[in-house]
Amino acid sequence: MEYRDLGKTGLRVSRIGFGGEHVTDADFATTEAVMRTAMEAGVNIMDVFMPQPDVRSHMGDALGARRKDVLLQGHIGAVLQKGQYLRSRDVKLCDEYIRDFLTRFHTDYIDLGMMHFIDTQEDYDLAFGSEYIDYCQELKRRGVVRFLGASSHNAVTARKMVETGLVDVLLFSINPAFDLLPGETEIDDLLKEELYEGRFAIDPDRAALYRLCEEKGVGITVMKTLAAGRLLDAASSPFGVALTPVQCIHYALERPAVSSVLLGAKTVEEMRQSLAYETATDAERDYSVLGRGARSAMRGKCMYCNHCLPCPAGIDIASVTKYLDLARQHGGAPDTVRAHYAALTAHGGDCIACGKCEERCPFAVPVRENMRGAAEVFGK
């Protein structure tokens, strides 16, 4: 298993994580088997937004003495009322479910305390303009949560949260289908086929969010990686071709600031299918096939897919381009971006202009031009 930095938290997370939602109705034996399979493969981050007592108890008991080996991503505001799941900003009710989480997981802290499901401007105002945000910060001050995060499906709202400086981690829905849609698309509309007509390039708001998180050191954990399965079927995919789970995972992991992709599994076999990413070949991970039905609209836009490699000069072309894009977005390179660029082993100025990268690129990106641009912006 490969591990990545989770933003500036100082934590290292497995790039494949476990999302517990799919074991909500599973018995203990199934839950334990799925979690054991994940942990034996090196998974060390698990998302638990579910407020239902049984699934919390099953997962907590399954962890047992291995609690210290796993980073738990728990949600502040996921509650039950009259047996129904809902999100709440009522501090008393939120605290009841946080204390329940601690009890059922046999722990006294949550590694990543996520402000739950903040999508619309109304959600944002209610969360950040009430005692709810004070409560969340107090949990962090007391050490009940080690780091404070937020979950969202809306790129515009997510950017506002990141810009407050209060968010250490962002749980966000990332896949090549959702990336086509406007940043403010409501979660209930993300699967409407008519919204995808004529859209074949990453939405600027979503691209800007990923770059902002990279700049601010906010680690992204990913949900909705398969777009509810629509990307696995050519008939429902907006690209007109079917992707594999491995390709979807790789797409998400290639976005700026992404640390871990959290995948649900209700059986051991489903968990193994996600873990298969770790042994997949470069050819199996390659998602450039998604450009077949949309290449003209994607032309010239770097997808950070590394299909251009290997570079004879040893340049990590995707990383150089990513930092160049960040600099262009800001009208100049922030100090943090300069530091990341400087840490690369080879830079834009090392390009020998052989053009092999452009021959390989499925999206006709002007790589040599970008390398010259990076050298001008960063001075090497």
One domain for residues 194 and 242: yes
3-state secondary structure of 214: helix
Residue with tokens 């939602």, as numbered in its chain: 21
Range of the domain at 319: 299-378
Residue 79 CA to its chain's centroid (Å): 23
One domain for residues 50 and 109: yes
308 neighbors 367 (Cβ within 8 angstroms) = yes
Q: In the chain, which residues have pLDDT < 50?
A: 190-194, 196-199, 295-297
114 neighbors 75 (Cβ within 8 angstroms) = yes
3-state secondary structure of 277: helix
Q: What is the pLDDT of residue 296?
A: 41
Q: What are phi and psi of 358, to 5 degrees?
A: -70, -30
Would you put residue 85 in left (φ > 0), alpha (ψ -120 to 50) or beta? beta
Q: What is the pLDDT of residue 361?
A: 81
Would you put residue 82 in left (φ > 0), alpha (ψ -120 to 50) or beta? left
**233, 261, 291 - which closes a domain:** 291
**269, 291, 313 - which closes a domain:** 291
Q: What is the pLDDT of residue 291?
A: 62
One domain for residues 270 and 309: no
Residue with tokens 């930095």, as numbered in its chain: 5
129 neighbors 105 (Cβ within 8 angstroms) = no
One domain for residues 71 and 143: yes
One domain for residues 347 and 235: no
Q: What is the pLDDT of residue 45?
A: 98
Q: What is the pLDDT of residue 191?
A: 45
What is the C-alpha separation between 232 and 176, in angstroms, rounded?
A: 12
**291, 313, 328 - which closes a domain:** 291
pLDDT tens for 183-208 read 566 555 544 444 544 445 678 899 99
Q: State the total domains in the chain.
A: 2
pLDDT tens for 264-317 read 998 999 999 999 999 999 999 998 787 655 544 456 777 677 778 889 999 999
One domain for residues 149 and 209: yes
